[in-house]
Structure 1
Amino acid sequence: MKTPILFLSMAFTTASFAEQMPEPNPPFVIKRQLNQRITQQQTSKSKPKEWIFHKTADGRHPSNKEQSMVWLMNRARQNPSAEGVFLANTGDSDVENAINYFHVDIDKLQAEFAEYAPHPPAAFDVRLYKAALAHSKDLIVRDAQDHNNQFDRINNAGFNYMAARGSVFSYAESALYGHAGFNIDWGNEADGMQTGRGHRSAIMSLDVDYYSNVGIAILSDNDTNTNVGPLVVTGNYAQANDNTPNHYNRFIVGTVWRDKNNNSMYDIGEGLGNVQVRPHGGTYWAKTAQSGGYAIPITSAGSYSVSFSGGQLKTKQTLSVTVADDSILMDLKLTQ
């Protein structure tokens, strides 16, 4: 665990604050009117194809930590009021220390979340992930926290977006700490939260109908000669231009996991990998990443019977879901 050094000099003390909060003024781009809906791609009926853009080819990403942040984000979108209560009472000592350090107004935090409307989940996208990974690597090399060239990397990775946001936290202690840092959006303002709530806007989809795709890259850096770390987190959140091949905004999204400690939270190591997820009558199917995450584009609204089988799942399971205009969150949670 890296601990920022607090100097007596006021100038140095101010500088040390930035080592404990996400980079202020996260960038965002909107290329269309906010109330304009893009028609989902329609794919002619054919044999279902495997969707491969929700994970890396080796299945190692999203990693356990990255999937944890995706899971926390998608849970938060389902019930913003409950998320506000959770953030104020995580029980995590690092998060509590940061809340106290920045003098976060807990009552105001919870009141703000109580006013937010629920939003659909985001699907992990490997192109957004690769852009985030390149950015996190660059931050470690430069021992920095900034947004320099973050959107250029999204463009270079081949993701075509209509709206996008970027977040960076070079000093996260854990996945939960990174999530809380972004969603509380702690900072130096009087209420302990950053002006504009830009990081929160990305996670909760506050400024567009919703950011339907996400790529989060978390790298460890325990080099005592650098200031960044122990975890360097970059998040890219986007709404796809779904008139482009292999770009969608409507998915069945979820995690296949076993709640080993019965705490109703996805924890590191609980995901089940290589599980086949197949919506009956759908255009695509997918295999879960090693961390248990999956996403499947849905090209036609309707009711689907979704089967889960193989991989680390011992017994075949089937769930039913109805998909309308937006993505649907559907976890398969197993108990001991």
Structure 2
Amino acid sequence: MFFTNPAPRNRRFQFQLSLEQLEARQLLSGFQPTAVEQLFLEQLNDARANPAAYGASIGLDLSNVAPSQPLAFNPLLIQSARQHSQDMNDRGYFDHNTPDGVNPGQRITNAGFTWMSWGESIAAGSAFPDSASALKALIIDAGVPDLGHRNQLLDLQPIFNNQTEVGIGVVQNGSGPLTNYYTIDSAAPTDSRPFITGVVFNDANGNGKYDLGEGLGNVTVTVAGVGSTTTWDSGGYSFQVSPGTYSVTASGGGLAAPITESVTVGATNSRLNFIGSSSSLGSGGGHTASNLAPGTPGIASVSLGSQSAVFAIGPDGGLYRHDPSGWTKLSTTQQFMQISAGTDGQGTADAYGVTSDGALYKYDVTHGLYMADSPGQIQAVNATEDNWAIAVTTDGSIYSYNGLANGQGARFIVEAAGFAQDVSAANDSAGHLNIYAVTPQHTLVEIDSTFKLALLSGGQTITQVSAGQDGKGNTDAYVVTANGALYKFDSLNGFFEVDAPGMVSQVSAAEDDWALAVGTDGRLFSYNGKGQGQGQRFQVQPAGMAVAETADNRNNGQLDVYFLTPTDLVFLVNPDGVTTTAMGGL
């Protein structure tokens, strides 16, 4: 299909999509990606990981598009794609088929790729000087009734589900009549095992993303117990594995020191980027530690059956726990920014905390306070059960931590770099852990216990999330938006507004649909969290009383609510919901 852009100089752009499902052939050597082709893949995989956020960035509603697995580069497909872009440039045509009648399937076969199915998108024109503009046009797919390019690139039809490998071929500022040429060939291999794929780079501009000139070539990527590969000059790599959990190390090349990560691979590809040097991602607010100062008010609690354990950050930045004799300081010189309470393997209380230097600490009664991850690593944490915690790292990855002491601790990657800036997690009544993440685009995403992703929000700018349980024992999540509105997600009602803009600054979800929140004027509110217009808000404390709060349910269902005042006093709200019990000052 041919479109003419009525801009000056008769700028033109064209697209076409073709698809077949035929036989396989054998493998040869192929081409490695250029930096531009690597950047295109990174941008495409970002769009596949969070279609709604990508759509919002280009003015297109993709909120109904589910995330899909990352694509892995294959050198043979790169060869097929780049040779086609070069051929279109050299011979001055724009089509899937060459002037000699060779179609995409034949070109992929001639490159030596063994395939079960394939898809191709092409774009060309002076309107596309860079990869971002070409990808945007292909996803918008203006003038293409069947949205064929969008369907291929975002995996929207069953035929594309098994097309796990891709080749991207780019010619920019060429001598051909359309100047810039892009070919994207995806294919399903006969070997259906998934890939660990990504890029190794130095984040020179601190944006948490791969950019031109940042890739690190000749880095050895070793999958423990399986083998190793070397990054291309672009910094990219792909390594095929069987499903399982792997320790992956990037070393050598331009890396100052080896980096080791753990990744769990299911039936689909997993993306694992290594950043040699970077700046911390910014924070949208909420309980993310990177935007807080030491001594910022913080309080956390966890139910221990018939009672609760309460932890707090003192005005000196120290970590404190409340016991019958009052507040006991657990830390020494550490400066805590954010804390979260959970339970250890014996069912007693533990707490995780993020310090001002980005280190992760854990406290439990057996081992005291100890470092769970080194400085520069963490920006937000959420403690769960059985020693575990979920954390967002400074590069925006999500990790789970087993929280073990004495050198036995380990972390496991859940989502790769650039995915999140805040996180909260909760177990449902069956024990399944669901994770709720706020992305850098301020959207809310759920990662269920099978690692399936779902976009939950619809255009709101979300800054904080807290996970709990609804009245049926399923997990739910409350979020605060940048304009002070309160929203909730649950499986019965979906995503809906609970309170209007300008009302809420912080929220803690509990059980049975309830949540506690600090109002923008310092009031303390409780919410019953019901949808369909049945929700109610109750004022627990008047204006100016609360700067932070926490809540949890005892085994008998009683909701324990604690709040911290501007003068660092802590109070327990009694079961009548009106009177309070003083717990002393920090």
Q: TM-score, normalised by structure 2?
A: 0.42
SS at match of 2:69: coil
Coordinate RMSD, CA, aligned: 2.4
Equivalence map 1:268-307=2 (5 Å): 268-282=212-226, 284-298=227-241, 300-307=242-249
Alignment correspondent of 1:250: 194
Q: What residue identity is the alignment partner of 2:246?
A: Y
Alignment correspondent of 1:80: 51
Equivalence map 1:91-240=2 (5 Å): 109-110=60-61, 113-148=62-97, 149-171=103-125, 172-185=128-141, 187-188=142-143, 194-208=144-158, 209-223=161-175, 226-229=176-179, 231-240=180-189
When structure 1 is superposed on structure 2, of 115-124 and 258-267 the one drifting more is: 258-267
Alignment correspondent of 2:15: 23
Alignment correspondent of 2:388: none
Q: TM-score, normalised by structure 1?
A: 0.72
Runs of 4+ in 1 over 3 A off after TM superposition: 4-8
Q: What residue identity is the alignment partner of 2:137?
A: G
Offset at 1:222? 4.0
Give the Cα–Cα distance (whole angstroms) in 2 for the partners of residues 68 and 210 of structure 1. Answer: 23
Offset at 1:6? 4.7
Alignment correspondent of 1:40: none
SS at match of 2:15: coil
CA contact (8 A) 2:215 2:236 kept: yes
Give the Cα–Cα distance (whole angstroms) in 2 for the partners of residues 6 and 77 of structure 1. Answer: 31
SS at match of 1:27: strand
CA contact (8 A) 2:193 2:243 kept: no
Give the Cα–Cα distance (whole angstroms) in 2 for the partners of residues 293 and 213 of structure 1. Answer: 13
Do structure 1's residue 311 and structure 2's residue 253 form an aligned pair?
Answer: yes
Q: What residue identity is the alignment partner of 1:135?
A: H
Choose 1 or 2 for highest CA Rg. 2
Offset at 1:294? 0.6
SS at match of 1:259: coil
CA contact (8 A) 2:89 2:174 kept: no
Give the Cα–Cα distance (whole angstroms) in 2 for the partners of residues 75 and 161 of structure 1. Answer: 25
Q: Larger % of strand: which? A: 2
C-alpha distance 151-30 of structure 1, shift in aligned 2 (>3 A): closer
C-alpha distance 63-23 of structure 1, shift in aligned 2 (>3 A): same
Which structure exhibits the higher relative contact order, with contacts defined as CA atoms closer than 8 Å and separated by 6 or more residues? 1
% identical aligned pairs: 32
CA contact (8 A) 2:80 2:111 kept: yes
Give the Cα–Cα distance (whole angstroms) in 2 for the partners of residues 7 and 327 of structure 1. Answer: 41
Offset at 1:31? 4.8
Offset at 1:30? 3.2
Aligned length: 262
C-alpha distance 305-29 of structure 1, shift in aligned 2 (>3 A): same
C-alpha distance 163-310 of structure 1, shift in aligned 2 (>3 A): same
CA contact (8 A) 1:144 1:170 kept: no
Give the Cα–Cα distance (whole angstroms) in 2 for the partners of residues 205 and 31 of structure 1. Answer: 19
Do structure 1's residue 241 and structure 2's residue 190 form an aligned pair?
Answer: yes
Offset at 1:81? 1.2
CA contact (8 A) 2:20 2:119 kept: yes
SS at match of 1:271: coil
Q: What residue identity is the alignment partner of 2:149?
A: H
Deviations 1:221-274 (A, max 9, x none): 443xx4211x211110111122xxxxx541001111122112233211111111
Give the Cα–Cα distance (whole angstroms) in 1 for the partners of residues 19 and 163 of structure 2. Answer: 11
Offset at 1:332? 1.1
CA contact (8 A) 2:221 2:250 kept: yes
Deviations 1:113-165 (A, max 9, x none): 21111111111111111111221122012212111122211111111222211
Alignment correspondent of 1:68: 39
CA contact (8 A) 1:125 1:214 kept: yes
In structure 1, the gaps of 5 or more residues are: 33-51, 89-108, 189-193, 243-247
CA contact (8 A) 2:199 2:236 kept: yes
CA contact (8 A) 1:119 1:210 kept: no
C-alpha distance 157-261 of structure 1, shift in aligned 2 (>3 A): same
CA contact (8 A) 1:23 1:167 kept: yes
